[in-house]
Amino acid sequence: MSALKIFAYAIREDEKPFVAQWQEDHPEIEVQFTDQLLNEDTAKLAQGADGVVVFQQLEYTQKTLKALADLGINKMSLRNVGVDNIDQAAAKKYNFQITNVPVYSPNAIAEHAAIQTANVLRQATVMEQKVQAGDLRWAPTIGREVRDQVVGVIGTGHIGQVFMKIMEGFGAKVIAYDLFRNPDLEAKGYYVDSLDDLYAQADVISLHVPDVPANVHMINDESIAKMKDDVVIVNVSRGPLVDTDAVIRGLDSGKVAGFVLDTYENEVGIFNNDWRKKEFPDARLADLIKRPNVALTPHTAFYTTHAVEQMVIQAFDNNLLMIEGKEAKTPVKF
Ligand SMILES: NC(=O)c1ccc[n+]([C@@H]2O[C@H](COP(=O)([O-])OP(=O)(O)OC[C@H]3O[C@@H](n4cnc5c(N)ncnc54)[C@H](O)[C@@H]3O)[C@@H](O)[C@H]2O)c1
């Protein structure tokens, strides 16, 4: 019997060492990969493979899935969480078994949120700009200590919980709100009864909830009006959770003291691109980037060696389980 074979698409330089590591740990499996994305044309590169490993924002269309199915391949492992770009009807039609990596490193995201929040509280960008320009005076760039803040965490799932621990490590008072309370956190008395309670008490408000329709623009003019003056708003979760124009109005009026964002409403096609020699496509985003009390990163909270390793290893592990006819650890159920 010939060796089982896995073909991986869109492997980046930073992923290659982890692919090599997985191959070393599984010498009996044949692993091949390309830096190209999976589409109806590149599907043929996987010919002879038993399963594919993928990660892309590009759609997994009916034609792409059919091209794989025509090669006898219907086991696909995503190295990321999101499955919105998969044609579900086609996946069902061609009998695809799909896995994703729902949890790869909550710390990567929580830590990023904490670092950026602390930076905004200390006016790090303003100080950095002064230092770069040769202005080494202290005033008026005075910081706020994290331990003096009440940090309000909305969503106490995988990432929210780690963020709470980190902020407590700084000495902050942490309060939380979730539609489904975690019993341990509940016993420790973290939860407030309503979002309004959280808005009324928190100096820093950090979102760690999913982008489901009910949560779209949960931060808007109305919710900001209920927040304390000089609030810092943190969104490293998903762009649509925040009405960006409302936050900009808050920043302009001075009500909002700082804004941390790693995700943005219109980020697809803008983030993870080099705009240095091209016309910048989004005036509102350009304005946000220029503001010294806004800490913007292009959806890089997840981008750590630890997280990338987990995304690669878990995806290959899942794929192997499926092609060996076993149950995958994190199957996607449509
Ligand atoms: N920036 C990045 O690189 C990055 C990477 C991974 C995940 N994320 C995002 O981080 C967010 C949190 O991820 P997670 O893994 O912790 O999710 P999770 O599913 O573990 O936790 C989400 C929590 O939010 C709660 N929730 C949902 N709607 C709510 C609401 N309206 N009010 C209060 N609580 C609500 C849920 O009950 C759950 O406890 C997601 O939006 C995810 O997409 C961002």
- Integer Cα distance of 176 and 209 in angstroms: 12
Q: Which residues pair with 51 in a beta bridge?
A: 6
The architecture (CATH level 2) of 5-104+305-324 comes to 3-Layer(aba) Sandwich (3.40)
CA distance 313 to 101: 10
Average pLDDT over the chain, rounded to an integer: 97
Please tell me the residue having the least CA distance from ligand 1 atom 28.
209
Q: What pLDDT is recorded for position 1?
A: 61
For residue 135, give the DSSP letter. Answer: -
Give catalytic status of residue 299 as yes or no.
yes
The whole-angstrom separation of Cα 162 and Cα 49 is 39
Superfamily of domain 106-296: NAD(P)-binding Rossmann-like Domain (3.40.50.720)
Pocket residues: Cβ below 6 A from ligand 1? 109, 154-160, 177-180, 208-211, 215, 236-238, 262-263, 299, 301-302
Q: How far is the CA of 237 from the centre of ligand 1 (A)?
A: 7
As averages over each run of 10 residues, the pLDDT of the chain (334 residues) reads 92 98 98 97 98 94 98 98 94 98 97 98 98 98 98 98 98 98 98 98 98 97 98 98 98 98 94 96 98 98 97 98 98 92
Pocket test for ligand 1, best of 159, 184, 296 (most atoms within 8 A of CB): 159
Active site residue 128: no
The set of residues, in sequence order, having a beta carbon less than 8 Å from that of 95 and lying 6+ positions away, is 69, 74
Dist. CA 154 → ligand 1 center (Å): 9
Residue 154: closest CA among 205, 109, 84: 205
Which pLDDT belongs to residue 334?
83
Domain with CATH 3.40.50.720 in the chain: 5-104+305-324, 106-296
pLDDT score, position 175: 98
pLDDT of residue 322: 98
**Span from the CA of 232 to the centroid of ligand 1 (angstroms):** 19
Tokens, residue 264: 């943005």
What's the N-to-C CA distance of the chain in angstroms?
33
